[in-house]
Structure 1
Amino acid sequence: MTIGSSHNHPADLTIQPAAEVQPWAARFPNPPDLCFDYRRLLEQSGGVAHATRPEHRICIVGAGVTGLTAARELLRCGFTRITLIEQSQRVGGRHLTLVNNQSGLGQPSTPFEMGAMRMPLFNRSDEPPKAGRSLMAYYAQLFDLAMTNFPNPGTPWVNATGIYLREGQLEGEGDSTLLIWKNPQGDSPPPTATLQSIQGKWQRFAERFAERVAAVYGTAEWEAMWADIVEHYHQLSFRDLVRLPSLPQWSPDSPGDFGGLGMDHEESAIFYAIGIGDGSWGAFYDVCCLYPLRTALFGFSSHLQLVQGRVDPDGRPLPAPYLGLETVQDSQGLEFQGPAYLGLAALDECLLFMPIEAQGISLYDHLVERKDGLLTDSSVCALHKLDDGQIKVVYRCKHSVPDQQQLLSEVFDSVILTTPSWLIETNMRLEGFTKAMLPQPIMDAWKHAHWETSCKVYAPLQKRFLDEHPHLPQILVTDSFVHDVYAYRYNDRYADDCILLSYTWEDDATKLAAFTDEELVDKCVEELDRILLRCTNIAQPISPYIDRSNIRIQRWMTDRNSLGCAKLYRAGTYYDAVSLMKYNRDLAASSGLYLAGESFSVDAGWTEPCLRTAVDTVINLCERTAAQFKGGFSLEHYPHYQVR
């Protein structure tokens, strides 16, 4: 998060809505739709509702954070016949924390977050992260997850940020230099007049937008204002918005029009490389501009947190179920990865293994009581809608061992799909659903979804690098093929620090796809050395401090359990994405099929929409089965997703 990275403007605002806030409305900052306080619903004793049909049989496809959340909250409501099917031999999906245990010291070291890594909790600037009105904040508090401020570029949480653009000659000809941005208090501008001008154009737009939103968010006026904003901008790419002329002033006669950033071609080219988000924005320059607007101006980029895990101050995991077991067994006795409670993956492990207070039993222990409760290494290949209204789920057991696969099936009353949409299209047959149950535009929306690829290259970094070189920036933002580089420390007691040698998205990740892991490691380390040695104000390599023998690489597009890293949408397709979010409310009661997870959201790459869509599914399934909602909540309090 470079230009504007320390600018937590949405979280800093103290503007209170002028009109009365709607019942159950969320507070700002929070996602624009739905404007609903999901945390309040889950904080109630027993959760969302009390099931009146506990025997209603539910299948959840996918044990990522979405599937685990849906399963846990349905169990809290009293639904007892839940089946969770996972294709891989671990839980967590794109929450993928790899831990290097090569030190031999009997403790974990250098966790690598190969997927999602920086968490917004939607807290305001005057409160701690876990006080945020978000589901992530709720679960972080519930499970006692330890967190620290994420070392984003340009923030006070790094010693300095190095900016290397145009071979170190951003300001013209001469010696190549690494621009050094130190920002210890969070209010220091970037280090050149050019970058400061670009930052100013972004901030003027952002401040005007967020301040107007904060004044009506959560009131009866909000849905109309958001609809105006969507209608005004949904046909524009982010590239278009950057070049669109700025607006002299906002007018209440056109409430959805905030103009553009007003950058010229040269400024736009630099902005492309340096971004407003979490590093370079080039990979997202041609997506619908509503995505970066949502990301930057509704709390997704404020006070981001690095989840260390369910650990004590020394980084050691707190006592927890099944801790220390390399593998545990599912309902069929198949082994899958045991919990380490480290990094972001600790959230998923807590959802599965930590006891639910009211039940006195964990989701895992409940599921494995039945032979069909938790099925890992099992790939769903078909859903058949039956004449009696039920759904037959066909799956391959022992998916990873082709010569031992078994084709099995079970019948359910409801099915919750949480998998990436391209897996649905390529791996599953959906049969027997009428066009009224599953309209063609809905299937087109997930088939035509744009999934971005991403590649991460992590390595252990010797602790002496950060200790002995305080003058060297620990974060590097470049327009080189490595793009963004992060060096940071989890804990003083861990044997090593870690370095994200290269973090790339979309075309920048695709161009690296042809190289083997060994070739890519060499290229990244050599390129980083080349940059540092070329810069006359640095002139020293980093390679002596990198442990090449324990490098980890994750390429999400070729991961068979994912087929992509984040589902985005291009200009003109925003309403298609929202139609998927509306499906549960409009059609799930007749189809018995529920859609949840990032595939059916508009905030790709983040955990919060996964949690929200999981709870949305619980709400709508409870309504369908006549469950008794708690706390005076009813579906009348639940806002609608808006489409034209």
Structure 2
Amino acid sequence: MTIGSTYDYPAHLAKQLPTHDRLSWRGRFPSPPDLCFNYRKLVEQAFGIAKATRPDYKICIIGAGVTGLTAARELLRCGFNNVTLVEQSHRIGGRHLSVLNAGQSLLLGQTPFEMGAMRMPMFNRADESPLEGQSLLAYYCKLFDLRLSDFPNPGTPHVRSTGIYLREGLLEGQPESQMLIWNNPDGHTPPPTEELQQMYSKWRQFADQMSRQVAQVYGTPQWESMWAAIVARYHRLSFRDLVTLTSLVWRADTPGDFGGLGMSQEESTLFYSIGIGDGSWGAFYDVCCLYPLRTAIFGFSSQLQLVHGRVDSNGSPMPSPYLGEPILKDCNGLAFAPPRYLGLAALDECLLFMETGVNGQSFYDHCRQRGEGFLTDSSVTRLTKLDNGQIRVTYDWNVSSPSTKSERHDDFDAVIMTLPSWIIETHIQLENFSQAMLPYTITNAYKTAHWETSCKVYAPLKKSFLTKNKKIPQIMVTDSFIHDVYTYRYHDAYPYDCILLSYTCEDDATKLASFDDQALVKKCVAEIDRILLRCANIKTPISPYIAVQNALVQRWMTDKNALGCAKLYRAGAYYDAVSLMQYNRDYAHVSGLYLSGESFSVDAGWTEPCLRGAIDAVIHLCNTTQATFNGGFTLDDYPRYQGPPPQPNQQQTTGQPETYYCRW
């Protein structure tokens, strides 16, 4: 749910770098830039991150998305046996939403519709398996035997062809409409037409130069100062500004300045609409340019993977806990969705149901044995800091049933908050947290964060489309309201493939909000047919291949459990976002509140920052409770996030408690 263009150059550069010091806790390029740390090395130790010295320390995790599930699993591995996970909905996984046909057998494989995150970077070098990438996602995918394949991104060798439709097919001034066809079997073929090639060249010149320089410094003692210089240069610029900023040759005396893409206004207009032929970048034109930069340069766009699930070579789910169960119950007897182990949601299901190495139990089994610790259909409404240092968590139990809903509460030593920040603001009241515990700067940072809208329209696709069709491109990128169209296959044995009829973000998604789901599906299919029939080199509709009656629409902004698909930050707001990532180290030991997940990261729309945020919370909880870290790790090995330079005459915060009222 973010810029998903493929840019493999960082992964190829990494092959040429010196061998990574396996004794070091430092990260390896490519990896996220702000905290140069090898989380995988810490987590993949046989006994986890640490050994708890206060195993009964009472911890509440709010939200059973991938962040909350990861934190719960790793806390149990550390020996914390008094953890409660609270989820508002009837399913786990949050914005990992792999939708399946409920009418098919629970034991058979089928094509999932990835209504949320769908393409996964593993941060592996070009010469190693994705499962060996130095990332938490690669670690968990390997641990849980999740099957991967190259994601069919536009303009890559992993698709048969990419169709480009711009300006009603008249981009080159030809007398009749044409679908431009981009075939790139070797991964080095530029897009068609001189205009697109010029844009492609300018993008590659900028990105390649920056990648080469940061790759040499990443992981060294000089990295933090170089990244600080890059942030200082670019944090006030939008991506729109960067696209037209003059290009330049990097100089060592100004290490943070790489110039811009140097595009003309005309080129910028095209780039907005269709990228370099790989899909629109326009949804991100007005966010801080550091976001698309970090997405491209630091591995988020390299060697993207499609997660098939915990399946065998035949595409069938492997024997796994609770597979085939029609229904499961939480610790209060409320039903929630059982695991199917298909698609990306298999990751979340494995985090909850696969054994942890602690008494052969999963977190779910541990909670069942305790008779408490896992709640669904329970909406947290208030956090109150008590005089004894604990936090009271008040929640509505059985919230989906107005007739039986009831308010309940429990007191905890620590709370890990993983919810989207707009849900925190509009649903949860925070009481009696002093400024020394929760400064206004922190609450303001998450309240003013920008949440991205997104709309996806999926439908089943007849197998004959990818098997027999030779005319219609496998992927299409357009400047029409549908924007990007994907068709792809998980397995030959599955009864149908899938088509993502439309994938839009920001304004492009908002403009579709007035159409109901059925009307939008019909409108998307009709528009794709119109485009294809208009193009003289296609003249073939796609609608005969699509099972329109089984199409699904997902709009994340109106999903009451999300209120947006990804947290972004505008130009000038980068340090606000970083302050949220600093919170656990600076304040959590005082407040007992730990902020974790994508809401409190700067890498919107990706799974890796969710996993890293979960581990960050566990690290600081272990430190607060004097747990014994494994592998010789200490908090001195853990880097600090770099905030803005201190401002003169900053007001001192007071210790007076405040109540934050969060209203609709």
Question: Could you tell me how far apart the structure 2 residues matched to 1:22 and 1:582 are?
Answer: 26
What does 1:124-523 correspond to in 2, within 5 Å?
A: 124-247=125-248, 249-275=249-275, 279-523=279-523
Superposition deviation, residue 404 in structure 1: 1.2
1:558 corresponds in structure 2 to 558
Superposition deviation, residue 403 in structure 1: 1.9
Moved more, 568-577 or 399-408: 399-408
Question: Could you tell me how far apart the structure 2 residues matched to 1:424 and 1:275 are?
Answer: 34
Moved more, 224-233 or 184-193: 184-193
Question: Could you tell me how far apart the structure 1 residues matched to 2:549 and 2:397 are?
Answer: 35
Describe the superposition over 1:515-562 as per-residue Cα deviations: whole angstroms up to 9, x where unpaired: 111110110000000000000000010001100111111000000000
Tell me the amino acid that sits aligned with residue 443 of structure 2: M
Question: Could you tell me how far apart the structure 2 residues matched to 1:205 and 1:31 are?
Answer: 19
Q: Is the 8 A contact 2:159 2:475 kept in 1?
A: yes
Superposition deviation, residue 174 in structure 1: 1.5
2:99 corresponds in structure 1 to 98
Superposition deviation, residue 369 in structure 1: 2.4
Question: Could you tell me how far apart the structure 1 residues matched to 2:21 and 2:96 are?
Answer: 38
Question: Could you tell me how far apart the structure 2 residues matched to 1:593 and 1:392 are?
Answer: 11
TM-score between both structures, scaled by the size of structure 1: 0.98
SS at 1:403's partner residue? coil
Tell me the amino acid that sits aligned with residue 535 of structure 1: C
Moved more, 118-127 or 173-182: 173-182
Question: Could you tell me how far apart the structure 2 residues matched to 1:182 and 1:280 are?
Answer: 19
Q: Is the 8 A contact 1:20 1:219 kept in 2?
A: no
2:658 corresponds in structure 1 to none
2:526 corresponds in structure 1 to 526
The change in CA–CA distance for 1:275 and 1:639 in structure 2 (over 3 A counts) is: same
1:608 corresponds in structure 2 to 608
Q: Is the 8 A contact 1:15 1:214 kept in 2?
A: no
Q: Is the 8 A contact 1:146 1:311 kept in 2?
A: yes
Q: Is the 8 A contact 1:11 1:299 kept in 2?
A: yes
The change in CA–CA distance for 1:355 and 1:225 in structure 2 (over 3 A counts) is: same
Tell me the amino acid that sits aligned with residue 50 of structure 1: K
Moved more, 18-27 or 448-457: 18-27
Moved more, 321-330 or 624-633: 321-330
Q: Is the 8 A contact 1:533 1:540 kept in 2?
A: yes
Describe the superposition over 1:428-458 as per-residue Cα deviations: whole angstroms up to 9, x where unpaired: 0000100110000100000001001100000
1:579 corresponds in structure 2 to 579
SS at 2:370's partner residue? coil
Superposition deviation, residue 170 in structure 1: 1.1
SS at 1:24's partner residue? coil
The change in CA–CA distance for 1:446 and 1:4 in structure 2 (over 3 A counts) is: closer
2:652 corresponds in structure 1 to none
Tell me the amino acid that sits aligned with residue 393 of structure 1: V
Q: Is the 8 A contact 2:229 2:255 kept in 1?
A: yes
Describe the superposition over 1:371-407 as per-residue Cα deviations: whole angstroms up to 9, x where unpaired: 4310000000000000110000000000111221110
Q: Is the 8 A contact 2:123 2:135 kept in 1?
A: yes
Q: Is the 8 A contact 1:578 1:641 kept in 2?
A: yes
SS at 1:294's partner residue? helix
1:590 equivalent to 2:590? Answer yes
Question: Could you tell me how far apart the structure 1 residues matched to 2:397 and 2:38 are?
Answer: 39
1:49 equivalent to 2:22? Answer no
SS at 1:147's partner residue? strand
SS at 2:112's partner residue? strand
SS at 1:109's partner residue? coil
Tell me the amino acid that sits aligned with residue 617 of structure 2: T
SS at 1:263's partner residue? coil
Tell me the amino acid that sits aligned with residue 52 of structure 1: T
Question: Could you tell me how far apart the structure 2 residues matched to 1:346 and 1:148 are?
Answer: 15
Superposition deviation, residue 356 in structure 1: 1.2
Identity %: 65
Question: Could you tell me how far apart the structure 1 residues matched to 2:558 and 2:385 are?
Answer: 31
Question: Could you tell me how far apart the structure 2 residues matched to 1:500 and 1:3 are?
Answer: 16
SS at 2:476's partner residue? strand
Unaligned runs of 5+ in 2: 645-664
SS at 1:301's partner residue? coil
SS at 1:292's partner residue? helix
Describe the superposition over 1:262-317 as per-residue Cα deviations: whole angstroms up to 9, x where unpaired: 00011101111122697311111110000000000100000000000000111100
1:73 corresponds in structure 2 to 74
The count of corresponding residues between Structure 1 and Structure 2 is 643
SS at 1:407's partner residue? strand
Moved more, 378-387 or 6-15: 6-15
Tell me the amino acid that sits aligned with residue 374 of structure 1: F
SS at 2:456's partner residue? strand
SS at 2:227's partner residue? helix
Tell me the amino acid that sits aligned with residue 101 of structure 2: N
1:123 equivalent to 2:129? Answer no
Question: Could you tell me how far apart the structure 2 residues matched to 1:602 and 1:252 are?
Answer: 27
The change in CA–CA distance for 1:105 and 1:426 in structure 2 (over 3 A counts) is: closer
